[in-house]
């Protein structure tokens, strides 16, 4: 049918804008999030621009909630054509400061939430010859300082997506992975880390982004339609990725300098 899409983290931010972008094409949407009020607002917006669908509270750490969501898509839509594993949380802090609990939380949401989303919906996608869109981050490619647990989780999403790309091609299930840089969003609402100064620094990066979630959602739509696997919405991100491939040591030196500045600024507070 090719007009049925499921989006996690759809209650705000990029998830909401992806929902609105697909809704403008008349799609039916299954919207999931832990933020039920945000979900209702997203569905209202979806209906205003020409889409429709339903909302369901879903914590992506809980596989049973994801399988229940897949079942709801089967019952209400007769299946699913596209899934967007977008739900995620922010964190920061130097490795020595991060607790193992910080690591467990980050991996559980940002990596295993995507694994479980793909697992729960794969049977439906195999039937519809559908597609998976995983939202990772430029952190999957660049590994900036002061966010090792976030870097590892997002790099895992990229590796998972690459694995699925080759495994599912014969089954005619398409795969895409999106790696945006920092952009204006409410990601800081979920921020967890040992150093308050790190949150402030991340906040400045978010506010200083040249593009917003609406533009990123539109770029994702374009690139998915074009069949691109690795989707890099930011021009600066595309340039940085090219630099890393051509001169990785230069990039590592820049990152090490950045780490030194971040540590100095954190200790001066």
150 tagged catalytic: yes
The helix/strand/coil state of 31 is strand
CB 59 within 8 A of CB 87: no
Q: Please pick, among 63, 150, 219, 252, the residue that the annotation labels catalytic.
A: 150
Q: Tell me the β-bridge partners of 84.
A: 7, 133
The helix/strand/coil state of 164 is helix
**Whose CA is closest to 7, among 62, 69, 85?**
85
Q: Tell me the β-bridge partners of 28.
A: 4, 52
Count of all residues that appear for the chain in the document = 269
CB 236 within 8 A of CB 211: no
Please enumerate in sequence order all residues whose Cβ is within 8 A of that of 213, keeping only pairs 6 or more positions apart, or say none: 13, 14, 16, 17, 183, 184, 185
**Whose CA is closest to 107, among 148, 58, 165, 72?**
148
CB 211 within 8 A of CB 195: no
Q: How crowded is the C-beta side of 63, counted as CA atoms within 13 Å? A: 7
CB 14 within 8 A of CB 86: yes
**Whose CA is closest to 200, among 254, 129, 265?**
265
The residues annotated as belonging to the active site are 150
């Amino acid at each position: 049918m090719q007009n049925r899409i499921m989006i996690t983290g759809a209650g705000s931010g990029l998830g909401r804008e992806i929902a609105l972008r697909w809704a403008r094409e008349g799609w039916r949407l299954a919207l999931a999030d832990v933020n039920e009020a945000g979900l209702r607002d997203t569905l209202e917006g979806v209906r205003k621009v020409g889409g429709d669908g339903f909302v369901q509270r879903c914590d992506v750490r809980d596989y049973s909630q994801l399988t229940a969501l897949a079942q709801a898509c089967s019952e209400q839509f007769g299946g699913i054509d596209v899934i967007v594993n977008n739900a995620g949380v922010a964190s920061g802090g130097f490795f020595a400061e991060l607790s193992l609990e910080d690591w467990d939380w980050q991996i559980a949401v940002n990596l295993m939430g995507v694994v479980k989303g793909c697992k729960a919906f794969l049977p439906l996608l195999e039937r519809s010859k559908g597609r998976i869109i995983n939202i990772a981050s430029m952190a999957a490619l660049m590994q900036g300082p002061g966010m090792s647990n976030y870097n590892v989780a997002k790099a895992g999403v990229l590796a998972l997506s690459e694995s699925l790309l080759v495994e599912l091609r014969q089954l005619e299930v398409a795969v895409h992975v999106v790696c945006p840089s920092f952009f204006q969003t409410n990601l800081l609402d979920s921020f967890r880390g040992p150093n308050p100064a790190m949150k402030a620094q991340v906040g400045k990066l978010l506010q200083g982004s040249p593009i917003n979630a609406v533009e990123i959602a539109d770029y994702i739509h374009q690139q998915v339609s074009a069949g691109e696997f690795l989707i890099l919405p930011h021009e600066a991100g595309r340039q940085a990725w090219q630099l890393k491939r051509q001169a990785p040591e230069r990039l590592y030196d820049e990152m090490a300098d950045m780490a030194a500045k971040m540590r100095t600024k954190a200790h001066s507070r």
